[in-house]
Every structure is written in C-alpha cells, then in structure tokens.
C-alpha cells in the first residue's frame, strides 16, 4: 500500500494549529437553559488502512479519516443520529479527555493507548439534550479495531475519509422546523448517511479552521426528518 506519512504529519500539525485558535472558530450554538450535564466527545483523526495515500487534486491525503458512529434509534436523546464517540462525564473521570477516551472505548472498543490527545477544546452547549460538551481533538497514532459494542446505544461505527467529507457535491444546508422556527446548519450526505447537527457543525468549523474546506453551495437546502 502506498503511504504518505509527510502529508499525514502535515494534517496532524494543521489540526494542532487550528486547536490553538479554537476560540475564534468554535461554532455558535444556542445556550442551555438551567443546569447542564458535562460531557465530552472524541474527535479522532487517523489513517485508513485500506485506502492508498495520494494527494492529486485533493485537499488532504485520501487516507486521512475521522471516526464516527450512529446512535441507536431507541435512545431518548439524539436517536439515530451520527455522532462522535462520547458521553456524559463520570465522577471517576480525571478530566474531559478521560471522559472522551472512556466513552469511546465503551462504545467502539478502541484501544485508548493508541490515541494521542492533541487538544481539549472549549465547552459547547447542546440545548437539545441539556449538555455542555467538550470536543477532544485527537490523533490515532496506532489505530485499533472498532465496532459497535452495545447495540442498545450504538448501532454502527465507521471511519469516514476526510476527503469525502470535503467533497462539495455531498454538502448541503440542513433545515429543521421546530416551534414555528426554521433552524439551518451544515450537513454531509455520506453515501446516504446524513451527518448533521452538532457533529456536522464541529466538523464544518474545524475544516474551515484548518483551511481544508472546498467551496460548496450553501444555498442547497434539505429538510431533516426527525
């Protein structure tokens, strides 16, 4: 398999540089009402094992990927949505990064020892489930096997090539109609799997901050069926 470690090392450096400017690009989200629960998500980038590294006409290496999962449709919060691995902070967690790694291990079976935490970003409100979520940006220096561990919570775990997410043809503006208002946000259609909401907003803002974003038509709108 062809590999391009210099390109991937460059991606890691660009993620680190973006993390240092996180206050300037963090997505703006509606505030929580009342006391919110602390939570963390793992925003984990790595290298796909089965995709050759090549950069012709691509913003990033073809084998740069990000880890995502689909939540069970029976969950009370964000049912059926695509998300980063993560969850609520527990008393035994030393910090936000420990929460993200523990939850990711419980949900996907990944080996935390192969994960390098690059940065802990600022808390973001998630009003729909009343959480304050800390994104933990990480690099998968030694990828391990992943799969849905508890199907009552996670039904699918998948690694998505970043180059695919950057393709303007799969990007659109999601629309949600609630309480007489229309909410709009960035979204991705990954072979029929829709990434929207909090996860899409974090990815969109991060791609802008790293300079990876390719111009896409924000005027293309599609409703999200809840």
Segments forming the whole domain that contains residue 136: 5-161
Which of 130 and 40 is assigned the larger pLDDT? Answer: 40
Which of the four pLDDT bands, split at 50, 70 and 90, describes residue 8?
Answer: low
What is the rounded distance in angstroms from the CA atom of residue 72 to the CA atom of residue 2?
36
Q: Domain for residue 90, yes or no?
A: yes
Average pLDDT over every residue of 92-100: 96
Q: Domain for residue 226, yes or no?
A: no
Place of tokens 């470690």: 5
Nearest to 154, CA basis, from 223, 36, 69, 34: 69
Token digits for 87? Answer: 């969850």
Q: Is the pLDDT of residue 224 over 80?
A: yes
Place of tokens 């929460």: 99
Nearest to 31, CA basis, from 132, 168, 178: 132
Q: Domain for residue 211, yes or no?
A: no
Token digits for 130? Answer: 């009343």
Q: Please tell me whether residue 202 adopts helix, strand or coil conformation.
A: helix
Residues of the chain with pLDDT > 70: what percent?
A: 88
Q: Domain for residue 128, yes or no?
A: yes
The model carries a pTM of 0.89
CB atoms within 10 A of CB 142: 10
Q: Domain for residue 45, yes or no?
A: yes
What is the rounded distance in angstroms from the CA atom of residue 216 to the CA atom of residue 220?
9
Q: Domain for residue 174, yes or no?
A: no
Q: Domain for residue 179, yes or no?
A: no
Q: CATH number for the domain including 64?
A: 3.90.79.10
Q: Domain for residue 213, yes or no?
A: no
Q: Is the pLDDT of residue 58 over 90?
A: no
In whole numbers, what is the pLDDT of the chain averaged over residues?
Answer: 86
- Residue 119 confidence (pLDDT): 94
Token digits for 24? Answer: 């300037």
Structural domain count of the chain? 1
């Amino acid at each position: 398999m062809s590999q391009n470690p210099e390109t991937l090392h460059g991606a890691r450096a660009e993620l680190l540089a973006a993390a240092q400017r996180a206050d300037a690009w963090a997505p703006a989200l509606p505030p929580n009402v009342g006391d919110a629960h602390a939570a963390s998500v793992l925003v984990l980038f790595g290298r796909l094992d089965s995709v050759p590294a090549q950069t012709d006409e691509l913003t990033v290496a073809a084998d740069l990927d990000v880890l995502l999962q689909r939540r069970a449709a029976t969950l009370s919060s964000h049912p059926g949505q695509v998300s980063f691995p993560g969850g609520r902070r527990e008393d035994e967690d030393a910090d936000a990064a420990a929460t993200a790694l523990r939850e990711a291990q419980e949900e996907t079976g990944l080996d935390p020892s192969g994960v390098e935490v690059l940065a802990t970003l600022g808390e973001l409100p998630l009003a729909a489930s009343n959480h304050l979520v800390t994104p933990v940006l990480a690099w998968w220096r030694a990828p391990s096997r992943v799969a849905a561990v508890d199907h009552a919570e996670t039904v699918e775990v998948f690694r998505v090539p970043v180059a695919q997410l950057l393709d303007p043809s799969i990007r659109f503006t999601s629309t949600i109609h609630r309480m007489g208002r229309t909410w709009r946000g960035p979204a991705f259609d990954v072979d029929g799997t829709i990434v929207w909401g909090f996860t899409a907003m974090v990815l969109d803002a991060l791609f802008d901050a790293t300079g990876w974003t390719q111009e896409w038509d924000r005027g293309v709108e599609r409703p999200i069926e809840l």
